[in-house]
Structure 1
Amino acid sequence: MIGIIMFFTALFMLLIGFPVAFTFGAVSVFFGIVAGIVEIYTYADASMGITAIITDGFAEGMYMFDFMPHRIWSIMNNTILMAVPMFIFMGIVLQKTGLAERLLESMGFLFGEIRGGVAISTVLVGSLLAASTGVVGASVVAMGVISLPVMLKYKYNTELATGTICASGTLGQIIPPSIVLIILGDVFQVPVGDLFKAAIWPGLTLVAAYILFILVVAFIRKDMAPAIPADPSRGRKSKQVVRALIDIIPSLTLIILVLGSIFAGIATPTESSAVGCLGAIVLSFMYRSFSFSMVKAAALESVKITSMVFAILIGATAFSMVFTYTGGDELVEHFMMSLPGDEKWGFIIFTMIAILILGFFIDFVEISYIIVPILVPIAANLDINPVWFAILIAMNLQTSFLTPPFGFSLFYLKGVVPATVRTMQIYRGVLPFIAIQIIVLGLLAVFPEFFGINPSL
């Protein structure tokens, strides 16, 4: 039971605001010592004093941490994880080139003359940015700054506008190249390229579902998403189409270079991330926004984000080691195997609900490195395809960016919206999109073959 108590202690500390990496490390050391003392006490004879039990237990508990340098060394030598800082750098450079601004302005006027057109263009641009950058924060902030004022100006419903922006910004979690898919590829020990391929159709289905929802709302409630009158100052419609294509083609080219090289087997995800970084620099030259100060700022921001991810990974490694040492993984596996009904579906339903609930409170990185490693061996025992299971988890983790009260996309957007937009309006706006994500997640679980995924090994 020590491992289970340790898990809930760490969860409680995260909920009250302790730093993630330090929480995992401190809890691991404390409960590792407790486990050592308990073990020595269990096998101690009557002549052994309490001081000796505590001293020997302390030494026994700390002994397991002798292996931490080897684990950290293996993490730092993991070539899959090398793609994380490079994709982050690529996304930040593209954000600073003004790519999002150009895409949103062109496509907003392109689709603006139909009801819900600006919201639809926001979803489409969100999917393009997701496939170009994979960085959620950059997409949400960019669209919040550019797209939201346009929608509010033309009397869009505030809840619909904010919900569309938050949901579109989180598409970077499921549409490749996605940081969460790279992390899950490392946790599941499956090729990241396989996860990228498997995520394409679920991601596009989500985009289509968002657009369908916007069209239905705009048809039923015409005042929620009115059409934007044509702007004569932008020239003929054909000229607007050409301008939009000029803005779209560079990002599409980058997507083809990055994802195409992976799917064609020409490059690994790590190698393609280097191609993406080079492509982002080339685009900065094209948009005349290149400067060494921009590259330095992007590099520093990438280092900060990457350091956060790796610090959490190291803390999570210690946590996982102690959790296994105390037998917590066996207890969880026994519980999962004893769920009522079919073992496989009972396990999947329970894990999806648990991850969805945890996503209300903690970040996807913590879930990926703490919860998922506990589930991987159980899924293997049930002959569940790790690629399918990883995509289910990725889709579920995407929802965590939207769920109140701690969804990161909600905070990103709140930081850039006008003061007239209240937090509760953002919360209400994302609820329909959360429901859509859960529906698509259910379809992916029940009909994986429809998405081109085999659910069994």
Structure 2
Amino acid sequence: MSQYLDLIMFAGLIGAILLGFPVSFSIAGVAIIFGYLGWAMGVMDITLLGATGQRVFGLLSNTVLIAIPLFVLMGAVLEKSRIAEELLDTMGRLFGQLRGGLGISVVLVGALLAASTGIVGATVVAMGMIALPTMLRAGYDPRVASGIVCTAGTLGQIIPPSTLLIILADVMSNSYQQAQYEQGKFAVEALSVGQFFAAAIMPGLVLVLLYLIYILIRGALRPQDMPPASLDTPRPERAEVLAAVVPPVLLIIAVLGAILGGVATPTEAASVGAIGALLMAGRRISRRPKIILFGAAALVLLGVLAGAFPIRLQRSDLGFLSQAAGGFYVILTIVGAIGIVYALRAAFREKIIHAAVTSTLTMTAMIFATILAAGMFSLVFIGLGGEERVAEILTGMPGGPTGALLFCMALVFVLGFFLDFVEISVIVLPLIAPTLILMGHDPIWLGVLLAINLQTSFLTPPFGFSLFYLRGAAPKEISTGQIYAGVMPFIGLQILGMALVFFLPQVSTWLPRALF
């Protein structure tokens, strides 16, 4: 029995989670129990657990993961300020006259919200409460409507900025460095969050395109499933469409443009996104929106000018033009600060900040507690010989590197039925990724394949998180069975998306190679 303790430990973890215990406590508890069990049986050196403190310090000082709470705050502010509702309403009226038009609008809004919030739960709940009743009133099949809302909401996991991609970038970078050490390389290369963001953009858009093609084809073949909206619904004016779409698009450009352009680190860009979301929310709810608009314009202009013509005011050899430009930058900074203060006042008055910060603290605590517990779990698993067992299984797979990769993708897909993406990312991937990289697989391409696979776990019954979110927000006439049936075609589209990235690696590798 002692030689299989690592496998029993992994099975015990899944069992503890399925019993409903809090995830982080389940992971840490199983690790402690099996650590002492292995020590008692003489198959593990208990002093390995002494490295836990170093892992905790490494996590708390990890500059990559600091971006997570800032991106979560950005998404929470946008969600609480009801910007998503305005966007959904406008896009629904714009495309509603087409067969499947409401479905198209939900997918497009899901993509926009994914790129500006990155929070799956918030997007699914918002669309479940706003778009789903509208689709049902228009005569949509409840299964089709549920599947579209669930799937569009999960785009926040693959389209950057996304907490999944940040965690995955950290895991894959560590695995890549570990693989290089095992190859005897000591001047190791690291991977950045920006590279994974760049790699995920094209696959994310490919998935959006697959969803849209499916909706259009189904609308043509089965028009009774997705009829056009009522002709009484007025189409929005061009100004109304621009007012709803331009602010989120500008926020996306500011955040992703800063990261991909090398202007800012992901953490700095996340703080820009949080301020941008606050200004967007403030303009919508403030009694003086023009002041906030001027403040936002001043900050955008400051970012562009300071990037193109940087001024160092501490230098003693500045000419008159440089000093005048520096003075102008100071004025822009003051105007921007005034806009932020007015946005903050409005957000405090409407209790948006309170709700957003509470949501951010809850989600961040859950993610970091899981990562901390997973660090302890992996120490014990390695101490019980699990790492060597995983390497043996993968290297012994028929089909060589391709066979090992297909086995791992199938394993992650099946685990997605039962485990959360954070648990799979921080427990399973550090065990399999180094071996796969050593076999010759490109770490960025591998990371994107795994990201799409983990995104699919939000849709797979019985524990897909999107299914739970929609179940809580959907009208009572929609059953759980209809929600499960509705996502099945989209799970097939996810697998097709993975196959496209698998057979055409350039979809994920071209952009990061061009930019980095």
TM-score, normalization by structure 2? 0.82
1-structure distance, mates of 2:378, 2:61: 19
Evaluate the alpha carbon distance shift between residue 453 and residue 351 of structure 1 in structure 2; reply closer, same or farther with a 3 A threshold: farther
Question: Aligned residue for 2:176?
Answer: none
Q: Describe how 1:17-416 pairs up with structure 2 within 5 A.
A: 17-39=20-42, 61=46, 63-189=47-173, 190-231=191-232, 234=234, 237=235, 240-288=237-285, 290-292=346-348, 293-341=351-399, 343-416=400-473
Evaluate the alpha carbon distance shift between residue 344 and residue 455 of structure 1 in structure 2; reply closer, same or farther with a 3 A threshold: farther
Deviation at 1:453, TM superposition (A): 4.6
User: Alignment partner of 2:210: what SS?
Assistant: helix
Could you tell me which amino acid in structure 1 is paired with residue 147 of structure 2? G
Contact 1:388 1:454 in 2 (8 A): no
Evaluate the alpha carbon distance shift between residue 335 and residue 415 of structure 1 in structure 2; reply closer, same or farther with a 3 A threshold: same
Could you tell me which amino acid in structure 1 is paired with residue 359 of structure 2? E
RMSD: 1.6
Could you tell me which amino acid in structure 2 is paired with residue 186 of structure 1? D
Question: Aligned residue for 1:427?
Answer: 484
Deviation at 1:291, TM superposition (A): 2.2
Contact 2:160 2:201 in 1 (8 A): yes
Contact 2:124 2:149 in 1 (8 A): yes
Deviation at 1:451, TM superposition (A): 4.2
1-structure distance, mates of 2:80, 2:512: 40
Could you tell me which amino acid in structure 2 is paired with residue 132 of structure 1? S
2-structure distance, mates of 1:95, 1:130: 12
Deviation at 1:347, TM superposition (A): 1.1
Which is further off, 374-383 or 214-223?
374-383
Contact 1:388 1:455 in 2 (8 A): no
Deviations 1:9-30 (A, max 9, x none): 1111112222111111111111
2-structure distance, mates of 1:120, 1:126: 10
What runs of 5+ residues in structure 2 fail to find an aligned partner? 174-190, 287-345
1-structure distance, mates of 2:142, 2:463: 20
Deviation at 1:454, TM superposition (A): 9.9
Could you tell me which amino acid in structure 1 is paired with residue 160 of structure 2? P
1-structure distance, mates of 2:97, 2:54: 60
User: Alignment partner of 1:415: what SS?
Assistant: helix
TM-score, normalization by structure 1? 0.92
Contact 1:401 1:410 in 2 (8 A): yes
Question: Aligned residue for 1:47?
Answer: none
Deviations 1:358-406 (A, max 9, x none): 0011100000010000012102211211111111110000000001111
Contact 1:385 1:455 in 2 (8 A): no
Contact 1:116 1:226 in 2 (8 A): yes
Which is further off, 435-444 or 290-299?
290-299
2-structure distance, mates of 1:356, 1:449: 23
Could you tell me which amino acid in structure 1 is paired with residue 260 of structure 2? F
1-structure distance, mates of 2:436, 2:394: 10
Deviations 1:306-341 (A, max 9, x none): 001111011100000111111111011001100112
Could you tell me which amino acid in structure 2 is paired with residue 380 of structure 1? I
Contact 1:110 1:241 in 2 (8 A): no
Could you tell me which amino acid in structure 2 is paired with residue 5 of structure 1? I
Query: Which residue among 10, 24, 42 is the counterpart of 2:13?
Result: 10
Deviation at 1:269, TM superposition (A): 0.8
Contact 2:138 2:230 in 1 (8 A): no
Could you tell me which amino acid in structure 2 is paired with residue 202 of structure 1? P
2-structure distance, mates of 1:4, 1:365: 20
2-structure distance, mates of 1:400, 1:353: 12
1-structure distance, mates of 2:155, 2:511: 23
Deviations 1:239-259 (A, max 9, x none): 523211210000000000000
User: Alignment partner of 1:291: what SS?
Assistant: helix
Could you tell me which amino acid in structure 2 is paired with residue 425 of structure 1? Q
2-structure distance, mates of 1:155, 1:240: 25
1-structure distance, mates of 2:160, 2:403: 29
Contact 2:409 2:450 in 1 (8 A): yes
> Alignment length, in residue pairs?
432
Could you tell me which amino acid in structure 2 is paired with residue 161 of structure 1? A
* 4+ runs deviating over 6 angstroms: none
Q: Give the share of equivalent positions with the same residue, in percent.
A: 44
Contact 2:85 2:130 in 1 (8 A): yes
User: Alignment partner of 2:41: what SS?
Assistant: helix
Could you tell me which amino acid in structure 1 is paired with residue 354 of structure 2? K
Question: Aligned residue for 1:442?
Answer: 499
2-structure distance, mates of 1:301, 1:229: 37
Deviation at 1:229, TM superposition (A): 3.1
What runs of 5+ residues in structure 1 fail to find an aligned partner? 43-56
1-structure distance, mates of 2:92, 2:440: 47
1-structure distance, mates of 2:489, 2:465: 17
User: Alignment partner of 1:383: what SS?
Assistant: coil
2-structure distance, mates of 1:325, 1:14: 22
1-structure distance, mates of 2:210, 2:511: 23
User: Alignment partner of 2:216: what SS?
Assistant: helix
Could you tell me which amino acid in structure 1 is paired with residue 78 of structure 2? L
